[in-house]
Structure 1
Amino acid sequence: MNDYSGLAKINSPYFQNSCFYNFHRLYPLYWCNNKEVGDESLCHACTCKEIGTTYYFCVECKLSYHKECLESPPLIKSSYHPKHHLQLMHNNLRRNISCFYCDASGGKKYVSLYYYSFTCKFGLDPVCARRNSFLNYPKRHEHDLNFFPRKADLTCDVCGVVDSELLIYLCLQCDFVVHKNCIYLPFVIRISRHDRRLSFTYSLPRILSCGVCRQNVDGNYGNYSCTKDCSYAVHSRCATREDVWDGKELEEKPEEDYENLNSFEVIGDGIIHHFSHSHHMKFERKTTDIMYDDEKRCQACLLPFYGGGVYECMKSNCDFVLHEACANLPRTKQHIAHPNPFILQVSDTKNIFSCRYCQRCLYGFRYVCSKGDESISIDVRCAAISEPFVQQCHPHPLFLSNELGKYRPCSICKKEKVQTLNCIECSFFLCFYCATLPYKVRYEHDEHFLTLSYKENESLNWCEICEEIMDSTIWLYTCHECGTVFHIQCLLGKCPPYVKPAQNLLLDDEKINIIPNNRLTRPICNGCGRRCQDKLILEFYEDDRKMLYCLLF
């Protein structure tokens, strides 16, 4: 049992005047400097800030309160609003009242106890109302920074942006302006768009384009540039976005190498032991004139072999095979669309996972990031996308979209996606699904390669599979030797070709089978009620009744 006998009692005017908290009149509130005594981390008076190392708490209900909230006078004059007095209010009606100081930093929008000016519609929580009007942070600026109470279109020297909605601090001794949000920006960081660390600087030797938004970086204002003297720079705001930066300050911390583990051990000449397989594998060079075997696929990316180097298991009855590129996949990888690194995992062949970026459901190798609030999985094809991304059908390089929450139509599938690869020279957008479509494929009735391309020849009017008229505005697969064309979905199916027939799989803990749709009479899909035209179908049992569904992957 805790001993509170050495703690002083306090008689709070807040609780004496608040009918909402009348029950606290029965119990004493104590002054304490031990954070572990209280069970709650938030102040239950203002409900908007974490409790510090000194606070009040109630012995009976174990609720904590800021010292400033309990000792708040009914009327004050704050340096953040010098024009009028502020009146202490209790938000019994739960109106959308925000703290001017916290809200400018992206803080909580709703407060229960606050100081308010009805003339200016201006509010502060009791803690912020008693803050000093100046800040001292020598790492950012050698002099004291004083709060500027008026809205003004002044350019921040740290981020280079004019934003009158943000709180502004000025140096009275020199011409230095900084947003409150920018004062404590980190000095050394690592971002998802670059392989090396970036350090904060106020100058650049030459004009460079931002590695995130692709606009020019003004060297007269703060920015982040590569610590290895390469020509890479990023705007301060772009570098510290939540989807770009992991939130870690790396100043005075040792370097970390993301790709510090090899995926295989070299046993001999062309012989390796890959971490994903128990047997030794031997390198073989396949020629492109050998017809591919659709049943024999790479265990990592699930794509067939169209020639080139492969690693094959040396055990006679084992069909484990890897593309040369897949065998060399790094164990740890930084992806351009996520601030934290991903770890390569060998997925259980009985479990299907969903890729975060292309939304395909598949199995094979995957990269997993478990940092943060959720676990994210991406397949090896999406993980391989980097900037600049080269799409063989488009003449310009593509870069990841930099506008959060903005949907764009993919130029291939026409679906609107929030994350796309964009051309900065023309209006070409590519979603991750279409960016990972194979550029070259084979068709069972054609001895040549088919390539992904934009329909330019108006004479190519018929799809060889469905025999429907080809739209002149769509992308397709073309055999340039035979002059034939194919719809992407007709050729690849709804599961381009990253899924193969398999038995006894698990999807959300349900047992399923993926079976070939090659019977003389195509089955009726239990989902759409039509006869399924796809190459593969999903089979499972529901209440002892067999269900068949199209593969909507």
Structure 2
Amino acid sequence: MESEGVSLPLIHEHPMTPWNDLRKGDCCGRFKAISDGYYCKICDFFVHQKCGESSEYIKHPSHSIHPLQLRSNRGHNCNLCGKYIVNLFYRCEICDFDVDLYCTKYPPPEVIDISETHHHKLTLIKKRSEFDYEAKCGFPYKCHECDLAFHVDCVWNPSKEKHPSEVNHSYHPLHPLKLHVGQPPFYSDGTCRLCSRKIYDRLFYHCSACNFSLDMRCVLNPPPQSVMDLKVHDHQLIFRPRLDSFTCNACGLSGDRSPYICVHCDFMIHQECLTLPRLININRHDHRVSRTSVLGVVNSVCGVCRQKVDWTWGGYSCQKCPRYVVHSKCATRDDVWNGKELEGIPEETEDIEPYVVIDDNTIQHFSHKEHYMRFHVNGLFWEENKRCSACTHPICLQSFYGCIDCDFMLHQSCAKYPRKKWHVLHNDRLALVTSEDGVFWCDACVRISNGFMYKCGETELDVLCGSVSEPFVHPSHPHHPLYCIPSVEEKECNGCNNSESRVLTCIESGCGFFLCFNCATLPQVVKHRVEDHPLSLCYGEKASGKYWCDICEKETDPSKWFYTCKDHRASLHTKCVLGDFAGLMPRSTVNTVSRSFKVVLNNSVSRPFCRVCESHCMYPIVLKMLGISDLYICSFDCLRRFFGR
């Protein structure tokens, strides 16, 4: 019996009808014993009555520090149970914390006692990083005394019933499976037959006659026998629970067991590939990329790993850039994708242009709205105090924009940096912001700066590192472009010979060229008081004998990059030429180690005396402590020593 429409604006956009149904709720994704709810005929959308009456803001014991707000968009996982959120959930924007409706209504206990299975109490794990959240069988708990983690349904029965010693399972009808505790048998491969996950110190079931193992997750929540999802495939897919080598049509990678298959068209897919997102952003491309069953692009390489792509398999492609494709597994890596499904979410269209054009030679930049800026073809001066407010480097001979009313300046290249961009070192889009007289340490090159930065959350990149994009071409390696290929192993930088984990890599076979972000963004030409002419960056050389730096008067290693003068008779350490504070704007005031300092150019005839190393400061920029006369600090080492750190 139908009645008048009920308005639930927090839940759904259309009027809904009170309804009785035994279907899963589109609100929380669970079946309920009580089937009273509300139904939208327009969208075929059903919510349980209890879910439909949810408040807009709640306080929840799982996140007591802030209130949670009701939301209705997808693309999140619950921070408590790890399950993908179907529709409605509660969110804390401050902490990026999400809880689905089921966990909101029925929160798990903080501590449980499972003395029948484990002799210590278990504590609820609230951070996803501490446990495998791909599992489907309940909340994760941890024993801190034994340093072991369990899914609650694998080890605990609230009814105090023990797990049976034998079970009959639909995916192994030949023999019953026997309960095992601890390590898998030595003759097995130690993995679950259905999901291929490793079986570690936990409960599992095993058939010794068939060498068939199931972990507790697949015993309690086995994969469905068939799947019908037109977003995955046009026909019904059937689960095949056996050891079989195959190539997955979705990702192009091989599998060794239990695929879903289509008997009509020889389509095979990994279980985990069934849930591949349809539309996503990745940190290596400016546009969204969408999942496709056949890439159909010949002679292309993956935009992440830079390896050749077999166009006959599925992957991700960009609708705006026809030749840009990405392997499925590469596109959904944790260091590439932020985990957000964007299907059904409108694309952001805000203006990311950094300035407004006033006329052919005049702009108004977002960072300096109070005045207009005029274009100058090149800087006809080497004055150290004429500096770009974005990168903090001297203007030198580069084209620039200068304020018509004050001393604010920007290199032409720096003025063009977009207000938002994607970057290989962060999974969400970064915003270009001014430091507002504060200092920050760039996460890529670890330089201190008070210029502009690209920022998102805790990630902060100076504009030089933030502007690095793929392919990156550097004058030291002009024949091959460089790419940021994540690696567990550290690589030795060809510029400084230091080992770094974040490097730009040449992918040409046998080349072995790597650059850290610090070396990749060193200025090519600088001016220093020891030389009347500009100094050029030299990319190392093979030489015999000893070389000496004219600034510190210590030996240099010619295999490392150095600065040299016009006649190439000098080899100056890059640190001696630039110093530790090259990223700070002269005449600005900065706060660090809980003290205030004036940033001072070291360009006078008599160099200031460093209070710590007790020598005349040789670096071009030094710090002067405010409130104390003649207390200068010349380097980070001296700063740490002065404050006992």
Quick one: which of 277, 282, 290 aligns to 2:368? 277
- Alpha-carbon contact 1:455-1:473 (below 8 Å) kept: yes
Change (3 A) 1:153 1:530: farther
**Cα distance in 2, alignment partners of residues 390 and 168 from structure 1:** 43
1:416-455 aligned at under 5 Å gives the runs 416-425=499-508, 426-455=511-540
1:402/1:463 CA distance change after superposition, 3 Å: same
Q: 2:290 aligns with which of 195, 199, 204?
A: 199
Q: Which residue of 2 aligns with 1:343?
A: 431
Give the residue type in structure 2 aligned to 1:327.
Answer: A
AA in 2 matched with 1:438: P
Cα gap change, 1:355 to 1:90, in 2 (>3 Å): same
Q: 1:65 to 1:254 in 2, by over 3 A?
A: same
Q: State the distance in 2 between where 1:510 and 1:489 align.
A: 24
1:187 Cα deviation from its structure 2 partner: 2.5
- Identify which of 90, 104, 108 aligns with 1:40: 108
How far, CA to CA, are the matches of 1:292 and 1:545 in structure 2?
A: 27
For normalisation by structure 2, the TM-score amounts to 0.66
Query: Which amino acid in 1 is paired with 2:372?
Result: M
Distance in structure 1 (CA, Å) of the matches to 2:134 and 2:543 = 66
The equivalent residue for 1:320 is: 408
CA distance in 1, matches of 2:136, 2:307: 41
CA offset at residue 325 of structure 1?
2.2
Counterpart CA distance in 1 for 2:574 and 2:311 is 47
**Alignment root-mean-square deviation, CA:** 4.2
State the alpha-carbon separation in 1 of the partners of residues 153 and 521 from structure 2.
54
What amino acid is the match of 1:414? N
The change in CA–CA distance for 1:218 and 1:514 in structure 2 (over 3 A counts) is same
d(CA) in 1 for partners of 2:236 and 2:167? 25
Whether 1:254 and 2:346 are equivalent positions in the alignment is yes
Q: CA deviation at 1:469?
A: 4.7
In the alignment, is residue 485 of structure 1 matched against residue 571 of structure 2?
Answer: yes
Contact 2:176–2:207, Cα closer than 8 Å, also in 1: no
Task: Kindly indicate whether the alpha-carbon contact (under 8 Å) linking 1:134 and 1:144 is maintained by their aligned counterparts in 2.
Answer: no
Displacement of 1:436? 0.7
The offset of 1:136, in angstroms, is 0.3
For residues 510 and 135 of structure 1, the distance between their equivalents in structure 2, rounded to whole angstroms, comes to 66
Amino acid at match of 1:161: L
* SS, match of residue 215 in structure 1: coil
C-alpha displacement of 1:510: 4.3
Instruction: Tell me the equivalent position of 2:612.
Output: 525
Q: 1:209 to 1:37 in 2, by over 3 A?
A: closer
Residue 365 of structure 1, aligned match among 439, 452, 465: 452
Aligned 8 A contact 1:536 1:550 in 2: no
CA shift in 2, pair 1:547/1:457, >3 Å: closer
Is 1:231 the counterpart of 2:323? The answer is yes
Q: CA deviation at 1:514?
A: 4.2
For residues 43 and 285 of structure 1, the distance between their equivalents in structure 2, rounded to whole angstroms, comes to 67
TM-superposed CA distance for 1:243, in Å, is 1.6
- Contact persistence 1:205–1:219 (CA under 8 A): yes
CA distance in 1, matches of 2:195, 2:241: 15
Which piece of structure 1 moves more, 135-144 or 452-461? 452-461
8 A Cα contact 2:417 2:467, kept in partner? no
One-letter code aligned to 1:408: K
Residues 233 and 521 from structure 1, CA distance in 2 versus in 1: closer, same or farther, beyond 3 angstroms? closer
> In the alignment, which residue of structure 2 is the partner of 1:415?
498
Tell me how far 1:268 sits from its aligned partner.
4.7
Once the two structures are TM-superposed, the CA of residue 152 in structure 1 deviates from its matched residue by 4.0
Contact residue 169 and residue 219 of structure 2 kept, 8 A: no
Shift of 1:458: 4.2
- What amino acid is the match of 1:395? P
Decide which of 572, 583, 605 is 1:498's aligned counterpart.
583
Deviations 1:498-550 (A, max 9, x none): 22445642226543444456755743537xx9886544445659999979462
Q: Aligned residue for 1:21?
A: none
CA contact (8 A) 2:137 2:221 kept: no
1:402 is aligned with what amino acid? I
Cα shift at 1:192: 1.8
Q: Does the aligned pair in 1 maintain the 2:579–2:635 contact within 8 Å?
A: no
Could you tell me how far apart the structure 2 residues matched to 1:65 and 1:482 are? 69
Alpha-carbon deviations, 1:436-493, whole Å to 9, x = none?
A: 1011212334343322222447499443334445434222223345654322122222
Q: Gaps (5+ residues) in structure 1?
A: 1-6, 9-32, 56-63, 92-97
SS at match of 1:311: strand
SS at match of 2:527: strand
CA distance, structure 2, for counterparts of residue 506 and residue 366 of structure 1? 17
Query: Which residue of 298, 301, 307 maps to 2:391?
Result: 301
Q: Which has the higher contact order (CA 8 A, sep 6+)?
A: 1
Residue 263 of structure 1 is aligned with which of 354, 359, 363? Answer: 354
Q: TM-score, normalised by structure 1?
A: 0.76
Contact 1:210 1:217 in 2 (8 A): yes
Give how far 1:83 is off.
6.3
Unaligned 5+ segments in structure 2 are 1-32, 35-100, 115-121, 125-131, 140-150, 183-189, 640-645
1:354 aligns with 2:354: no
For residues 410 and 479 of structure 1, the distance between their equivalents in structure 2, rounded to whole angstroms, comes to 24
SS of corresponding position for 1:273: strand
Return the offset for 1:421: 0.7
- After TM superposition, the structure 1 = structure 2 runs for residues 326-337 of structure 1, keeping only pairs within 5 Å, are 326-337=414-425
Cα deviation, residue 85, structure 1: 3.4
Equivalent pair of 1:42/1:49 in contact (CA under 8 Å): no
C-alpha displacement of 1:105: 6.9
Q: Which residue number corresponds to residue 464 of structure 2?
A: 381
Which has the higher mean CA deviation after the structures are superposed, 475-484 or 515-524? Answer: 515-524
* Distance in 1 between residues matched to 2:476 and 2:529, nearest whole Å: 24
Instruction: Indicate conservation of the 8 Å contact 1:155/1:162, yes or no.
Output: yes
Stretch of structure 1 that moved more, 236-245 or 503-512: 503-512
Q: CA deviation at 1:217?
A: 0.5
Determine the structure 1 residue equivalent to 2:560.
474
Aligned counterpart, 1:184: 275
C-alpha contact (below 8 Å) 1:190/1:198 kept by paired residues: yes
Secondary structure class of the residue paired with 2:414: helix
Q: Which residue matches 2:254?
A: 162
Cα pair distance change 1:148/1:545, threshold 3 Å: farther
Q: How many residues align?
A: 493
Q: Deviations over 1:286-344 (max 9, x none)?
A: 545x33111221111101011233222232xx322222222232111111332210111
- Alpha-carbon shift at residue 219 of structure 1 (Å): 1.4
Percent identity, aligned pairs only?
Answer: 33
Q: Which amino acid aligns with 2:318?
A: C
In the alignment, the residues of structure 1 paired with residue 261 and residue 407 of structure 2 have an alpha-carbon distance, to the nearest angstrom, of 68
**Corresponding residue for 1:30?**
none
Q: Which amino acid in 2 is paired with 1:338?
A: H
Distance in 1 between residues matched to 2:138 and 2:560, nearest whole Å: 66
Letter paired with 1:270: N
The 3-state SS of whatever aligns with 1:340 is: strand
